[in-house]
């Protein structure tokens, strides 16, 4: 039985805020002023824009969500995300929307609570943390994408440019 539309719409809004609030790339962009002086307001606007995007477009594919988020980050925050988190965030949003639309509010509430409790940069992949035997409550949560468990992962450090790229690495000389 599906939950009332207003309840699921509000729950999805909470989920969007939780996912975006735990997205490291967006948080870095806001904290470092990539969106200008109104970065926090733009981030709040993005939550509403994502909600409307889902409600106004039926059967969104993950790549459509990724493209939407990438375009907004580029336009509003002058940010290009290349750490793989766009796919992760898109998957989380798509999963939450599906749960809300089908009336599976219990699993959506659980996911939102976990996102809210997630410590910055302290995530562990679900595959590493899941024990073999699970209770029925854990089985319900198992359907959630693993990406929901690790939304604050730091991107890997980028290697220094190779000399064949036309770059030369200049290092400070050590004093003797």
**What's the pLDDT tens digit per position in 89-145?**
999 999 999 999 888 889 889 998 888 876 343 333 322 333 444 444 444 444 555
Residue pair 104/142 in contact by the 8 Å Cβ criterion: no
The C-alpha atoms of residue 42 and residue 76 are separated, in whole angstroms, by 7
3-class SS of residue 58: coil
How are the residues of the chain apportioned to helix, strand and coil, as percentages rounded to the nearest 5? 60, 0, 40
For 26-35, 69-78, 86-95, 113-122, which range has the lowest pLDDT when averaged over its residues? 113-122
d(CA 75, CA 159) in angstroms, rounded, equals: 27
How many CB atoms within 10 Å of residue 141? 18
Query: What gap in Å lies between CA 111 and CA 46, rounded to an integer?
Result: 20
Q: Rounded CA gap, 118 and 101, in Å?
A: 25
Least confident stretch, 2-6, 35-39, 111-115, 131-135: 131-135
- Cβ–Cβ contacts within 10 Å for residue 20, how many? 22
Cα 105–64–87 angle (5° rounding)?
70
Q: Tell me the pLDDT band of 6, cut-offs 50, 70 and 90.
A: confident
Distance CA 116, CA 130 (A): 19
Domain layout of the chain by residue ranges: 5-165
Which of 19-33, 121-135, 139-153 has the highest average model confidence (pLDDT)? 19-33
Residues in the chain: 176
First to last CA, the chain: 75
């Amino acid at each position: 039985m599906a939950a009332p539309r207003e309840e699921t719409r509000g729950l999805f809004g909470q989920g969007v805020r939780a996912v975006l609030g735990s997205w490291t790339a967006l948080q870095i962009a806001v904290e470092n002023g990539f969106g200008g002086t109104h970065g926090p307001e733009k981030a709040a606007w993005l939550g509403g824009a994502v909600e409307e995007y889902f409600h106004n477009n039926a059967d969104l594919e993950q790549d459509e969500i990724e493209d939407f988020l990438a375009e907004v980050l580029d336009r509003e925050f002058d940010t290009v995300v290349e750490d793989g988190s766009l796919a992760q965030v898109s998957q989380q949003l798509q999963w939450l929307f599906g749960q809300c639309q089908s009336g599976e509010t219990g699993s959506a509430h659980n996911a939102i609570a976990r996102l809210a409790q997630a410590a910055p940069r302290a995530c562990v992949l679900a595959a590493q943390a899941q024990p073999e035997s699970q209770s029925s409550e854990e089985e319900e949560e198992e359907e959630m994408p693993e990406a929901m468990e690790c939304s604050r992962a730091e991107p890997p450090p980028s290697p220094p440019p190779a000399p064949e790229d036309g770059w030369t690495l200049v290092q400070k000389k050590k004093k003797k």
